[in-house]
Structure 1
Amino acid sequence: MISADALRLSDATLPSLPGAVARPAYDRGKTGIGIVHIGVGAFHRAHQAVYIDSLLGDEPDWAICGVSLHSSEVRDALRPQDGLYTLALLGEQPSQRVIGSIRELLCARDEPAAVLARLADPAVRLVTLTITEKGYCLAGDGLDAAHPDIVRDLASPDAPRGAIGYIVAGLRLRERHGLAPYTVLSCDNLADNGGKLRRAVLQYAERIDADLAHWIDTKVAFPRSMVDSITPATDDSLRERVERELGVHDAWPVQREPYTQWVVEDRFCNGRPALERVGVTMSDDIAGYDKAKLRLLNAPHSTLAYLGSLMQLETVADAMREPLLSGFVERLMREHIVPATDLPSGFGAGGYVDAILERFRNPAIRHLLSQIAWDGSQKIPVRLLATIADALAADRPIDRLCLPVAGWLRFVVRQAQAGVPLVDPMDAALSRAGRTATGDAAHDIAAFLALEMVFAPLSGDTRFVDALRTAYAALGEASREQVASALLAATGSSHA
């Protein structure tokens, strides 16, 4: 139960916190705002804001102004706390850390002038975003000019409401006043996030002012980035736990796993914080890191999701406690995915695999297999089929790589024949194929391979077709015992 009369976390109560609780190792009063972050949700506060918190002791000019575009909830929760909040790390030894890098919180809906003034502040040299893909108002790789938010902001560009509108309005003010622009850094999980954001901003600016668009094109940097850390939602149990540990009330703590990764393209136009000092990887090969994450983290996740679900397991940690399944996943990663993937220069594949397996085993993270199993038609092609294609091109074996693909198909059949809809944009087509499945591998695989949006061009490669049929047949009716048998056979074969 949260105490009604508990003191609130704030600068004033920081000294009273227990010694085990980490807190800002710098004088917050001597920091200056150099970053505006749009989309100040849980992931940002558990991820980028933590890196900046670690940096401010050496570089105090990079504190954050957090901007929410529409909701005032974060502002209203954290302003009375002087922007302070607790990060709970969910490991075998849980810990708490108070983060102080957010010095100002604004809600653009209520305080548009303050947001624009902050964007026009010469001290601000970096604007970062975590607004999810829909916040970019994209159509393909460019701007969706018909999106209602874009239509509205183009009609009133000096009074924007959306992220693209605010970015351009801020840059327009700086261009008018002869100020250097800020770098715009997307931190959303979106392939080529910097490139897509740049194109959207330029296309929007061109509709307002061709000269402004040219200035942005030649002066503004849009680095690409990749982020990774599991951040479960905040709930009352977290609030209660934090209050017990701190002895004060925190209206909006956040939580995440201990592991965190941030890779940033080193392309800035107006200086940058020394991010590499606090564990950020600076690289020009963001696509390579994206590929590594897709294949070495996301593909094993999908493998656990489908084969684990067939074995009637519930969470990733549960699946990793099954020796046959965890052993298969590790072997798949080390012997088949790593050799078939062109990884970034200097990338430590062995250490990365070790870290992923440790993350999967973390019992404090309750990551549901059923949730990871969503949207298989979108995930399987990039997570597994692309690796299979590369392995075939290099004349490498693909039998083990095909087992999780077959597991997905058996999962689809099970759901369809039980009358359970899939959480998948191709639910209708997949469920139709699943309902007509007979158990005969040749018949069932032919029906699924007809879904060219998923399987082309591999559907025309007899090596893939034969390997997928064999894997599908090995799973039988996909009972727990049959899946275990298939995993034993696959793991025990030295040349699968």
Structure 2
Amino acid sequence: MVAGLPVKPRLTRRTPVPVTGIVHLGPGAFFRAFNAIYTADVMAKVGGDWGILAVSLKSPTARDQLAPQGGVFTAVEMGADGAIPRVVGSIAKVLVAPEDPEAVVAAMADPAVKVVSLTITEKGYCHNPATGRLNLAHPDIMHDLADLAQPHSAPGFLVAALARRRAAGIAPFTVLSCDNLPSNGVLARGIVLDFARAHDGDLATWIEAEVRFPATMVDRITPATTDADVARLADAEGYTDLACVQHEPFRQWVIEDDFTDGARPDWSEAGAQFVASVEAHETMKLRCLNGTHSALAYLGYLAGYETISDTVADPAFAALCGKLWQDEIVPTVPPPEGEDLSAYCTALLGRYRNPSIRHRTWQIAMDGSQKLPQRCLGTLADNLADGRVPKGLCLVVAAWMRYVGGVDEAGNVIDVRDPLAARLKALSDAAEGSGAKVAALLSVDEVFPPTLAADARFRDAVTAAYEALVSEGARGTVARYAG
């Protein structure tokens, strides 16, 4: 039990453990608030053996939280009218990959498993975000190529399991990426094929011909669970659930309908949309939602705001979102079928304002070197290609640069969580003056494509924004931009 939490009995399973049909890599809060709920809803409505074996690739935390509860957990919907808890039972078991990698490969190779889904965040793909290719120098990838019997990485586990199924004459599972990445199905396919080609060319040929990698667009704001959340649930419901998650009422899942032998849960029964292509929906979400989320995270954090709702309660930051959408983001987004982009953005601001969702700016700011290319740089490049200098998005880039420098406007140390954190801080610290700092960080080609970094319009606009952040502070700069 966590010190300071109410002494209550643990939540326990009161329903049968479902038969496993899905293996999921990355059983964090988003998976529990999204994939697990959709799947529970489908099984409750139409049945099916779609229980989820969840695999943690690094930490035992999820297993330690869920195992004593039989895999069940509480999902708390946080709306304007209060909290609505429900117990979710779609997780059958949790494995910790480093403790028993063979058990994970064996589970993925089981013929009953039809889908392997992923929420492993950008860094879990072990790729270069600027190119989308597998980073063959990544320590986990180097290990797995040398010893695929004991994988460390998601690509390693996927290829090891697919190799075992091929050797046994078993049809492959579908690889379903559910991470916030553009063309996530294409990315997952490319990463797996890059690994397979480096390991076994014949296996790569089989994967290329037989394995399906549908793209998805996922959307539900899910803050990190705090001890206060656990305590509040314990007081309200009379039990302790260390695995509980909080989420907003809204959810949207758009899925490319391309599964091996059509084997999948009918998630449409729970409100998911199966489509021929998710590209337009994905672009809408990544640019309109994730792009402004990152803008609010870096600029809001620098301005001293703890959460997104706190940040947009400031009229200057609400206006920042409106101006970014109208002038710089929506003009680059092809409208998805059935969507009104203006109404979508208006609804987004309402979601950001939900005071029940305490989504921390610091949490969203994590792993920015991985997120920035996907969420902002493509939009920025499209504006430049159309002859527009997107000063708002350049301000977001400058705010990220200021953030990874590791010191806030009051001189306090920022706890920067990023795979490149040490390198980024060293580059910033070694450079004197705003222009030099910007130039140094633009040289990181894992983040900035060389053609973009070399564009004088972009470089000059980011430098001017960085100088404004230093002289006027984040809030003053935002207020001046938003007008």
Common fold: TM-score over 0.5: yes
1:238 match: 229
Distance apart, 1:186 and its partner CA: 2.0
- Return the letter of the residue paired with 1:52: T
- Return the letter of the residue paired with 2:74: T
Between the aligned partners of 1:337 and 1:284, the Cα distance in structure 2 is: 24
SS of the aligned residue for 1:244 comes to helix
Distance apart, 1:48 and its partner CA: 0.9
Between the aligned partners of 2:95 and 2:288, the Cα distance in structure 1 is: 38
SS of the aligned residue for 2:31 comes to helix
Of the two structures, which has the highest relative contact order with CA contacts closer than 8 Å and spacing of 6 or more?
2
Structure 1 residues 108-147: aligned runs within 5 Å = 108-112=97-101, 114-138=103-127, 141-147=132-138
Distance apart, 1:268 and its partner CA: 1.0
Compared CA separation, residues 409 and 66, structure 1 to 2 (3 A)? closer
1:40 match: 27
Compared CA separation, residues 144 and 2, structure 1 to 2 (3 A)? same
Distance apart, 1:412 and its partner CA: 9.2
Distance apart, 1:320 and its partner CA: 1.7
Structure 1 residues 482-493: aligned runs within 5 Å = 482-483=476-477, 486=480, 490-491=482-483
Structure 1 residues 230-309: aligned runs within 5 Å = 230-270=221-261, 271-305=263-297, 308=300
Match of 1:337 among 296, 310, 329: 329
User: Deviation string for 1:429-456 (max 9, x for gaps)?
Assistant: 55666x536xxxxxx6x98579754696
Between the aligned partners of 1:476 and 1:152, the Cα distance in structure 2 is: 43
- Return the letter of the residue paired with 1:296: C
Distance apart, 1:398 and its partner CA: 5.1
Between the aligned partners of 2:202 and 2:454, the Cα distance in structure 1 is: 49
Tell whether 2:55 aligns with 1:55: no
Between the aligned partners of 1:461 and 1:137, the Cα distance in structure 2 is: 31
- Return the letter of the residue paired with 1:342: P
Distance apart, 1:129 and its partner CA: 1.9
SS of the aligned residue for 1:67 comes to strand
Match of 2:212 among 221, 229, 243: 221
Distance apart, 1:244 and its partner CA: 2.1
Between the aligned partners of 1:109 and 1:379, the Cα distance in structure 2 is: 26
SS of the aligned residue for 1:86 comes to strand
Runs (5+) with no aligned partner, structure 2: none
Match of 1:201 among 167, 192, 199: 192
Between the aligned partners of 1:85 and 1:142, the Cα distance in structure 2 is: 36
Distance apart, 1:165 and its partner CA: 3.4
Q: Is the 8 A contact 1:71 1:107 kept in 2?
A: yes
Q: Is the 8 A contact 1:311 1:483 kept in 2?
A: no
Between the aligned partners of 1:371 and 1:7, the Cα distance in structure 2 is: 30
Compared CA separation, residues 317 and 408, structure 1 to 2 (3 A)? same
Match of 2:11 among 4, 9, 12: 9
2:433 match: 436
Distance apart, 1:275 and its partner CA: 2.0
Q: How many residues align?
A: 464
- Return the letter of the residue paired with 2:346: D
Distance apart, 1:459 and its partner CA: 7.0
Q: Is the 8 A contact 2:442 2:453 kept in 1?
A: no
User: Deviation string for 1:299-339 (max 9, x for gaps)?
Assistant: 33344345545655443222222234313422432354212
- Return the letter of the residue paired with 1:320: V
SS of the aligned residue for 1:230 comes to coil
TM-score for both structures, normalised by structure 1? 0.77
Q: Is the 8 A contact 1:297 1:356 kept in 2?
A: yes
Tell whether 2:348 aligns with 1:356: yes
Structure 1 residues 315-334: aligned runs within 5 Å = 315-334=307-326
Tell me whether 387-396 or 473-482 shows the greater mean CA deviation: 473-482
SS of the aligned residue for 2:286 comes to helix
- Return the letter of the residue paired with 1:218: A
Between the aligned partners of 1:405 and 1:159, the Cα distance in structure 2 is: 39
Compared CA separation, residues 459 and 371, structure 1 to 2 (3 A)? farther
Between the aligned partners of 1:169 and 1:376, the Cα distance in structure 2 is: 30
- Return the letter of the residue paired with 1:107: V
Q: Is the 8 A contact 2:48 2:265 kept in 1?
A: no
Q: Is the 8 A contact 2:256 2:276 kept in 1?
A: yes
Aligned CA-pair RMSD = 4.1
- Return the letter of the residue paired with 2:180: N
Distance apart, 1:346 and its partner CA: 3.6
Compared CA separation, residues 408 and 146, structure 1 to 2 (3 A)? closer
Distance apart, 1:84 and its partner CA: 0.8
2:170 match: 179
User: Deviation string for 1:245-296 (max 9, x for gaps)?
Assistant: 2223324222233333333222211322222232323345444444323321
SS of the aligned residue for 1:184 comes to strand
Compared CA separation, residues 54 and 465, structure 1 to 2 (3 A)? same
Q: Is the 8 A contact 2:424 2:441 kept in 1?
A: no
Higher gyration radius (CA):
1
Between the aligned partners of 2:382 and 2:102, the Cα distance in structure 1 is: 52
Runs (5+) with no aligned partner, structure 1: 13-26, 438-443, 492-496
Between the aligned partners of 1:191 and 1:317, the Cα distance in structure 2 is: 26
User: Deviation string for 1:345-401 (max 9, x for gaps)?
Assistant: 443313321231022112223334456567777766765565455345546685666
Distance apart, 1:225 and its partner CA: 2.5
1:24 match: none
Between the aligned partners of 1:469 and 1:197, the Cα distance in structure 2 is: 35
Tell me whether 184-193 or 397-406 shows the greater mean CA deviation: 397-406
Q: Is the 8 A contact 2:317 2:479 kept in 1?
A: no
SS of the aligned residue for 2:332 comes to coil
Q: What is the percentage of aligned positions where both structures have the same residue?
A: 42
- Return the letter of the residue paired with 2:480: A
Distance apart, 1:37 and its partner CA: 1.2
Tell me whether 146-155 or 322-331 shows the greater mean CA deviation: 146-155
Q: Is the 8 A contact 1:474 1:486 kept in 2?
A: no
- Return the letter of the residue paired with 1:63: G
1:167 match: 158
Distance apart, 1:91 and its partner CA: 2.7
- Return the letter of the residue paired with 2:79: G
Q: Is the 8 A contact 1:421 1:427 kept in 2?
A: no
Tell whether 2:87 aligns with 1:98: yes
Between the aligned partners of 2:243 and 2:211, the Cα distance in structure 1 is: 34
Compared CA separation, residues 158 and 251, structure 1 to 2 (3 A)? same
1:21 match: none
SS of the aligned residue for 1:94 comes to strand
Compared CA separation, residues 406 and 43, structure 1 to 2 (3 A)? closer
TM-score for both structures, normalised by structure 2? 0.78
Distance apart, 1:40 and its partner CA: 2.1
Tell me whether 320-329 or 306-315 shows the greater mean CA deviation: 306-315
Distance apart, 1:419 and its partner CA: 6.0
Q: Is the 8 A contact 2:37 2:90 kept in 1?
A: yes
